[in-house]
Homo-oligomer: A and B are copies of this chain.
Amino acid sequence: MKKRVVLVGMGFGGIHAARVLAGKGLDVILVDRNNYHLFQPLLYQVATAGLEQESIAHSVRAMARSWPGTRFQLAEATGIDFASHDLLTNTGPIHYDYLVIGAGSVTNYFGLTSVERNAFDLKELSDAETLRNHILTAFERAVIEPDPARQRALMTFVIVGGGPTGVEFSGALVELVHFVLAKDYPELKTQAARVVLIEATDELLVAMPESQRMYTLNKLRSMSVEVLLNARVVDAGPEQVILHDGAVIPAHTLFWSAGVKAAPLAATLDTPPMAAGRIPVEPDLTLPGHSEVYVIGDMAFLKQDSSVLPMTAPVAMQMGIYAGNAILAREGGRTPSPFRYRDKGTMATIGRNAAVASAFGMNFRGYFAWLVWLLLHLYYLIGFRNRIVVMLNWVWYYWYHERQVRLITKRETGQEL
């Protein structure tokens, strides 16, 4: 009887674990509530009309075809029965010998309920389509809005959080408005549109070296993004955002990228969670007291050299590969050495020809960093056809300043237009 490995979550960690485990004589079951792997780092480009949603998702069954011994089950994990070794799901229990949990993270609003009610975020594929529809609908409404103040609020976008997502989304959005929508809406004064980026600390991209942070700030401001540092959003309504000092920004769109926390599945585990709901794991990524259960990616809380590993795609990938190899080692009678994250650097794109990248103690900026960013993202994108379509969109945008996916595919509910 083959031993069974159940992988929960087909994010960066899950697919890398699956690749390692495929064809090794194990029965590997891949579980996700979606039937696709989502390339989250490009969600913001779907939201800003640069890419079609299908180009950043890839069918898990298509991948599993080339992974011998794996099969996929569409299901949402709801808990774990540690005694009977069963993963509990909405389609029934799945027995495991080894379990690898990488269910990822959700947006963290830190209890700001009015913000949660009114803000958009980018975690799921449908979030990106919803946000794109909302942005384009806001401009359509602005066309027919007679009140200049309300018209400006319709064209005002507040983005909270100066991490990579906030920076990348701000840059992509301001370019969408100035390069593309300015031509689409000749009847609107689109130069009156506002993209406001709000960061609680005094720096953007805190994980980056000082020189990169300064470059990013200056670049964004030169692109006319209004960057507010040391500012916090404390309250929000459908048409306004309120800051810590009482300042009110009339804005029809609020985007939140100021925090994430472990997926709700984490709360069902045996182990009490740490900050952001993450699960503390042993140095070999197993759950304390359950050496057959691995926790990887955003859900795992692990310190290395006294700092906690960040909730990023590279960490998830390396953890996935590690967990796969650790299981193979144990099946081969060997004891795996502890997990160690190798930091290969961080990067963020700001706009056309402008990105920052820090790797191997070196800092790159501008055109070269931007090119490296493009190539690395194409490399990690799953599916050859997806790479072609994404590259095609990028070339198009580069040459023609055109973003083709300016479609309002769903009408917003409960509103006249």
Q: What distance in Å separates the Cβ of A51 from its nearest Cβ neighbour in chain B?
A: 9
Residues on B with C-beta less than 8 A from A402 are: 62, 385
Task: State in angstroms the CA–CA spacing of A101 and B75 once bound together.
Answer: 47
Contact B385–A396 (Cβ < 8 Å):
yes
Q: Considering only CB atoms, which chain B residue lies closest to A385 in the complex? A: B404
CB within 8 Å for A388 and B383 given contacts A35-B136, A140-B35, A407-B59: no
In the complex, which residues 69-85 of chain A have their Cβ closer than 8 Å to any Cβ of chain B? 71, 73-75
Interface residue A378 (Cβ < 8 Å from any Cβ of B)? no
**A389 (CB) vs chain B CBs: closest residue:** B389
Please tell me if the beta carbons of B144 and A92 are within 8 angstroms of each other in the complex: yes
Q: Which of B35, B183, B393, B408 contacts A65 (CB 8 A)?
A: B183
Given A90-B416, A144-B92, decide whether A405 and B73 contact each other with a Cβ distance below 8 A: no
Interface residues on A, range: 35 or more
> A215 at interface (Cβ–Cβ under 8 A)?
no
Determine whether A16 belongs to the interface, using a CB cutoff of 8 Å to chain B.
Answer: no
A268 vs B109: C-alpha distance when bound (angstroms)? 48
Asked if B57 and A407 make an inter-chain contact with CB atoms under 8 angstroms apart, the answer reads yes
Interface residues of A in 172-203 (CB under 8 A from B): 183-187
Q: Is A108 positioned at the interface, with any CB of B under 8 Å from its CB?
A: no
Which residues of B sit under 8 angstroms from A71, Cβ to Cβ? Answer: 186-187
A346 close to B (CB within 8 Å): no
Report which of B54, B393, B408 forms a contact with A407, defined as CB distance below 8 A: B54
Report A44-63 CB contacts with B as 1/0, cut-off 8 Å.
Answer: 00000000111101010110
Given contacts A57-B409, A125-B409, A385-B392, 13 further A-B contacts (CB under 8 A): A35-B406, A36-B407, A54-B405, A59-B184, A59-B404, A59-B406, A61-B184, A62-B402, A65-B184, A74-B137, A90-B416, A385-B396, A389-B392
Q: List 10 A-B contacts (CB under 8 A).
A: A35-B406, A52-B53, A57-B409, A71-B186, A73-B144, A74-B140, A74-B408, A75-B417, A126-B409, A385-B396
